[in-house]
Chain A
Amino acid sequence: MLSKRHFWAPVVLAVATGAVSAQAETITVTVDKMAFSPTEINAKVGDTIEWVNKDKFVHTATVKGGWEVMLPVKKSGSIVVQKAETIDYICRFHPNMKGRIMVAAP
């Protein structure tokens, strides 16, 4: 038992980190002059979406009835997308700011 665990653990670890480092990316969305740019992005499950707020105003990336990332002035915030879906989000303080993330299976 013990020897078996010793044998498998490093292999599983190697496969897992290999898969993650090869595929997961960080996709940056800039928030400037009251807009998300790019407005639409493509991502894969496991990718990190990072919003960089360059504006002089506090914004959010908010999914109605779902998650919210606060974006203070000149700060950034991020989430990891968990499943394949199309996510429409807005800024809660300025709902005329809209964005979309199209998440594909890994």
Chain B
Amino acid sequence: MHIRPIAALAALCLLGAAPLAQAADMPTDPQIAHIAYTAGALDVDMGRLAISKSKNKDVLDFAESMVRDHEAVNVQALDLVKKLNVTPEDNATSKALTDATAAERAKLEKLDGAAFDKAYVDNEVAYHKQVNGALETLLIPSAQNAELKSLLETGLKIFQGHEQHAETVAAGLK
């Protein structure tokens, strides 16, 4: 629900049989770099919020690993765009992600204790699922530069790991 614009784009790409129509709907490398970086940076912010609010060891452990991993991926992403001389370009998908996360963050800020933990971890499961879906169906297939594609593929493996980690933590909260 948060990444409806991505889903819509993905659907367009899957439906678009004509290669030309497809190419027009696909994000460019500067846009892809921006979306991937934004997705990571937003999750770092949510992780920091959880670290400041939660007292649950598993939740804190998970949040710390989100901050650590997403920062590490984004350092690599920045190094790569610098090397490739690409300027990440803001776009509708990045904006939608940012807005949806801001709304979720506002909700989480009002919660405390077990209610916060559950809402944060459930949102992390959903968020990683959506970002992974976008990586798999849209961002990776659209990436033109081989190094960018390879970084996105590594990112996908990490985020899939996060999704499973979040599911394990969520199961432990029940």
Number of chain A interface residues as a range? 10 to 19
Residue of B at shortest CB range from A91? B161
Residue of A at shortest CB range from B156? A34
Stretch of B7-15, B47-55, B105-113, B162-170 that contacts chain A: B162-170
Q: Say yes or no for B98: interface residue by CB 8 A criterion.
A: no
Q: Please report the C-alpha to C-alpha distance between residue A58 and residue B68 in the assembled complex, in whole angstroms.
A: 8
- CB contacts (< 8 Å) of A94 on chain B: these are 157-158, 160-162, 164-165
Q: Please report the C-alpha to C-alpha distance between residue A96 and residue B128 in the assembled complex, in whole angstroms.
A: 14
- CB contacts (< 8 Å) of B157 on chain A: these are 33-35, 94, 96
CB pair B161 A95 closer than 8 Å: yes
Residue of B at shortest CB range from A73? B72
CB-contacts of B121-174 with A (<8 A)? 154, 157-158, 160-162, 164-165, 168
Classify the secondary structure of A's interface with B: loop
- CB contacts (< 8 Å) of A57 on chain B: these are 68-69, 72, 158
Q: Which B residues have a C-beta under 8 Å from some C-beta of A?
A: 65, 68-69, 72, 75-76, 154, 157-158, 160-162, 164-165, 168
Q: Which A residues have a C-beta under 8 Å from some C-beta of B?
A: 33-35, 56-58, 73, 91-97
Residue of B at shortest CB range from A59? B161
Q: How far is the CB of B59 from chain A (nearest CB, A)?
A: 14
- CB contacts (< 8 Å) of B164 on chain A: these are 94-96
Residue of A at shortest CB range from B164? A95
Q: How far is the CB of B159 from chain A (nearest CB, A)?
A: 9
Q: Please report the C-alpha to C-alpha distance between residue A96 and residue B160 in the assembled complex, in whole angstroms.
A: 7
Q: Which of A33, A73, A96, A97 has the most CB of B within 10 A?
A: A96
Q: Please report the C-alpha to C-alpha distance between residue A91 and residue B65 in the assembled complex, in whole angstroms.
A: 12
Q: How far is the CB of A53 from chain B (nearest CB, A)?
A: 13
Residue of B at shortest CB range from A60? B65
